[in-house]
Structure 1
Amino acid sequence: MGPAPGSQRLFPSGAKYAEALQHTQLCFRHPELKGAQPELTGLGLPRPISGAFASVFSLTSPTSGRRYAVKCFTRHVPDQERRYEAISSRLALLDQAELSQPWNLGFEYLPDAITVEAKRYPVLKMEWTEAVTLSSWLDDNHADRAAVDRLANRFEELTRDLAGHQIAHGDLQHGNLLVASDGTLRLVDYDGMYVPALAGLGGTERGHRNYQSPLRGNDDFGADLDRFSTWVIFLSLKAIASEPALWSRLHEPSGEFLLLAEDDFTSPAGSARLQTLLTHPDRMVSGLADQVRTLAAQPLDMLPPLTPAVPRQRPAATVITDTTAHRGTAAPGAGGLPGWMTGHVTSAASPPRTGPSAAPPDRFEIRRPLDVAVAVAWPLMLAVTVLAFCVGLSTAPFGPAAPVLAAAAFSVLGRARRPERVRARAVLSELTAERDQFDDPVKAEDKLRKDRAKLEAAETKRTADHPRAQSKLIASHQAELQQIEKRRIRERRGLDKKIAGLSEERDKALRTALAARQSAYVRNRLGRRLIAQNPPHGIGPKLAARLAAAGVRTAADFTGYRTVNNAHYNSVGAVLVLSNGRHIDVQGIGEGKAKALDFWRRQLVAAAEADQPTALTAQERLPIDRDITARSARLTTELRSVDVAAEASRTKARQALNDGQARLARENTEAGERARRQRQEFSRRAVTLQQDGARHAALSAAAETAEAHRRRLSLLRYLRFLYTGR
Structure 2
Amino acid sequence: MGSATGPQRQFPSGGDYAEALQHTHLCFRHPELKGARPELTKLGLPRAISGAFASVFSLTSATSGQRYAVKCFTRHVPDQERRYQAISSRLAQLDPAELSQPWALGFEYLPDAISVGKERYPVLKMEWCEAVTLSSWLDDNHADRFAVGRLADRFEALTRDLAANQIAHGDLQHGNLLVASDDTLRLVDYDGMYVPALAGLNGTERGHRNYQSPLRGNDDFGDNLDRFSAWVIFLSLKAIAADPALWNRLHEPKGEFLLLAEEDFKSPSGSTGLQTLLSHPDRMVSGLADQVRSLAFQPLDLLPPLAATVPGQRTAATGATRAAASGAGTAPAPAAGGLPGWMAGHVPQPAPPPSTGPAVTSPDGFRVRTLLDVVTAMLWPLALAATALLVVTGYRAPLIGPGVPVAAALLCTAFARSRRAERAQSRAALAQLTNELARLGDPVKAAEKLRQDRAELDAAETKRIAAHPRAQDKLTARYHAELKEAEKRKVRRQRDLDKKIDGLAEELRRALGKALADKQSAYVRDQLSRRLIAQSLPPGIGPTLAARLADAGIRTAADFTGYRSVLNTSFTSTGAELVLSNGRVIAVHGIGEARAIALEVWRKSHVASAEARQPTALSASERQSIRQGIDRRRSQLTTQRKAVESETDALRAKARKELQEAQERLNRENAQAGDRARKQRQELSRRAVELQQNSALHGTLSASVEAAKLRQRGLSYASYLRFLYLGH
Matches of 1:36 and 1:548, distance apart in 2: 113
Q: Which secondary structure state, in structure 1, belongs to the residue aligned with residue 319 of structure 2? A: helix
Aligned residues: 706
Q: In the alignment, does 2:280 pair up with 1:277?
A: no
* Equivalent position of 1:636 in the other structure: 638
* Equivalent position of 1:324 in the other structure: 319
Q: 1:204–1:581: structure 2 CA closer, same or farther, 3 Å change rule?
A: closer
Aligned-partner residue type, residue 709 of structure 2: E
Matches of 2:505 and 2:42, distance apart in 1: 80
User: Which of 697, 715, 718 is the equivalent residue of 1:716?
Assistant: 718
Stretches of structure 1 lacking an aligned partner (at least 5 in a row): none
Matches of 1:49 and 1:598, distance apart in 2: 107
* Equivalent position of 1:689 in the other structure: 691
Matches of 1:724 and 1:190, distance apart in 2: 78
Q: Which secondary structure state, in structure 1, belongs to the residue aligned with residue 562 of structure 2? A: strand
Matches of 2:209 and 2:113, distance apart in 1: 32
User: Which of 72, 75, 78 is the equivalent residue of 1:74?
Assistant: 72
Aligned-partner residue type, residue 139 of structure 1: D
* Equivalent position of 2:56 in the other structure: 55
Q: Which secondary structure state, in structure 1, belongs to the residue aligned with residue 224 of structure 2? A: coil
Q: 1:269–1:498: structure 2 CA closer, same or farther, 3 Å change rule?
A: farther
Q: Which secondary structure state, in structure 1, belongs to the residue aligned with residue 557 of structure 2? A: coil
1:94-153 Cα offsets, whole Å, 9 max, x none, are 643xx5x32444736486998989999776564x76654322332222123343233323
* Equivalent position of 2:328 in the other structure: none
Residues 149 and 317 in structure 1, CA contact (< 8 A), matched pair in contact too = no
Aligned-partner residue type, residue 638 of structure 2: T
Matches of 2:709 and 2:678, distance apart in 1: 45
Matches of 1:358 and 1:564, distance apart in 2: 139
Residues 283 and 332 in structure 1, CA contact (< 8 A), matched pair in contact too = no
* Equivalent position of 2:140 in the other structure: 140
The Cα of 1:526 is off from its aligned counterpart by 1.9
Residues 217 and 458 in structure 2, CA contact (< 8 A), matched pair in contact too = no
Matches of 1:598 and 1:392, distance apart in 2: 175
Residues 113 and 122 in structure 2, CA contact (< 8 A), matched pair in contact too = yes
* Equivalent position of 1:212 in the other structure: 212
Q: Residues 88-107 of structure 1 correspond to what in structure 2 (within 5 A)?
A: 88-92=91-95, 95-96=97-98, 99=99, 101-105=100-104, 107=106
Residues 565 and 572 in structure 1, CA contact (< 8 A), matched pair in contact too = yes
Q: Residues 142-541 of structure 1 correspond to what in structure 2 (within 5 A)?
A: 142-180=142-180, 183-268=183-268, 270-307=270-307, 311-312=309-310, 314-318=311-315, 323-324=318-319, 333-334=335-336, 337-342=339-344, 344=346, 351=353, 354=356, 360-383=362-385, 392-393=396-397, 404-459=406-461, 462=464, 466=468, 469-470=471-472, 473=475, 476-477=478-479, 480-481=482-483, 483-485=485-487, 487-541=489-543
Residues 242 and 317 in structure 1, CA contact (< 8 A), matched pair in contact too = no
Matches of 1:624 and 1:683, distance apart in 2: 87
User: Which of 573, 592, 595 is the equivalent residue of 2:594?
Assistant: 592
Matches of 1:323 and 1:646, distance apart in 2: 86
Q: Which secondary structure state, in structure 1, belongs to the residue aligned with residue 366 of structure 2? A: coil
The Cα of 1:612 is off from its aligned counterpart by 0.9
1:452-501 Cα offsets, whole Å, 9 max, x none, are 44444544554565566556555555555555455445544554554455
Residues 559 and 579 in structure 1, CA contact (< 8 A), matched pair in contact too = yes
Matches of 1:35 and 1:478, distance apart in 2: 41
Matches of 2:334 and 2:549, distance apart in 1: 144
The Cα of 1:388 is off from its aligned counterpart by 7.4
Q: Residues 21-36 of structure 1 correspond to what in structure 2 (within 5 A)?
A: 28=31
Q: 1:298–1:662: structure 2 CA closer, same or farther, 3 Å change rule?
A: farther
Greater Cα shift, 603-612 or 469-478: 469-478
| Percentage of pairs with the same residue | 57
Q: Cα RMSD between the aligned structures?
A: 4.5
Matches of 1:161 and 1:523, distance apart in 2: 112
Aligned-partner residue type, residue 91 of structure 1: L
Residues 169 and 193 in structure 1, CA contact (< 8 A), matched pair in contact too = yes
Q: 1:108–1:557: structure 2 CA closer, same or farther, 3 Å change rule?
A: closer
Residues 518 and 612 in structure 1, CA contact (< 8 A), matched pair in contact too = yes
Residues 227 and 306 in structure 1, CA contact (< 8 A), matched pair in contact too = yes
Q: Which secondary structure state, in structure 2, belongs to the residue aligned with residue 324 of structure 1? A: coil
Matches of 2:9 and 2:474, distance apart in 1: 25
Greater Cα shift, 684-693 or 107-116: 107-116
The Cα of 1:560 is off from its aligned counterpart by 3.1
Residues 172 and 229 in structure 2, CA contact (< 8 A), matched pair in contact too = yes
1:423-475 Cα offsets, whole Å, 9 max, x none, are 43343233223223201223323433443444445445545655665565555
Residues 87 and 193 in structure 1, CA contact (< 8 A), matched pair in contact too = no
- TM-score after normalising by structure 2: 0.81
The Cα of 1:83 is off from its aligned counterpart by 2.0
Matches of 1:58 and 1:210, distance apart in 2: 31
Matches of 1:370 and 1:482, distance apart in 2: 104
* Equivalent position of 2:561 in the other structure: 559
Matches of 1:367 and 1:456, distance apart in 2: 65
Matches of 2:459 and 2:594, distance apart in 1: 109
Aligned-partner residue type, residue 72 of structure 2: T
Aligned-partner residue type, residue 160 of structure 2: R
Q: 1:296–1:325: structure 2 CA closer, same or farther, 3 Å change rule?
A: closer
Residues 278 and 287 in structure 2, CA contact (< 8 A), matched pair in contact too = yes
Aligned-partner residue type, residue 689 of structure 1: L
Matches of 1:119 and 1:436, distance apart in 2: 66
Residues 167 and 196 in structure 1, CA contact (< 8 A), matched pair in contact too = yes
Q: 1:710–1:68: structure 2 CA closer, same or farther, 3 Å change rule?
A: farther
Residues 87 and 193 in structure 2, CA contact (< 8 A), matched pair in contact too = no
Matches of 1:252 and 1:195, distance apart in 2: 34
Residues 39 and 58 in structure 1, CA contact (< 8 A), matched pair in contact too = yes
Q: 1:561–1:216: structure 2 CA closer, same or farther, 3 Å change rule?
A: same
* Equivalent position of 2:90 in the other structure: 87
Residues 59 and 70 in structure 2, CA contact (< 8 A), matched pair in contact too = no
Q: Which secondary structure state, in structure 1, belongs to the residue aligned with residue 628 of structure 2? A: helix
Residues 70 and 123 in structure 1, CA contact (< 8 A), matched pair in contact too = no
Aligned-partner residue type, residue 289 of structure 1: A
Aligned-partner residue type, residue 697 of structure 2: R
Matches of 1:81 and 1:711, distance apart in 2: 70
Residues 78 and 204 in structure 1, CA contact (< 8 A), matched pair in contact too = no
* Equivalent position of 1:579 in the other structure: 581
Q: Residues 671-710 of structure 1 correspond to what in structure 2 (within 5 A)?
A: 671-710=673-712
Q: 1:91–1:460: structure 2 CA closer, same or farther, 3 Å change rule?
A: closer
Stretches of structure 2 lacking an aligned partner (at least 5 in a row): 325-331
The Cα of 1:218 is off from its aligned counterpart by 4.8
1:348-369 Cα offsets, whole Å, 9 max, x none, are 7762654667974433344343
Matches of 1:43 and 1:296, distance apart in 2: 45
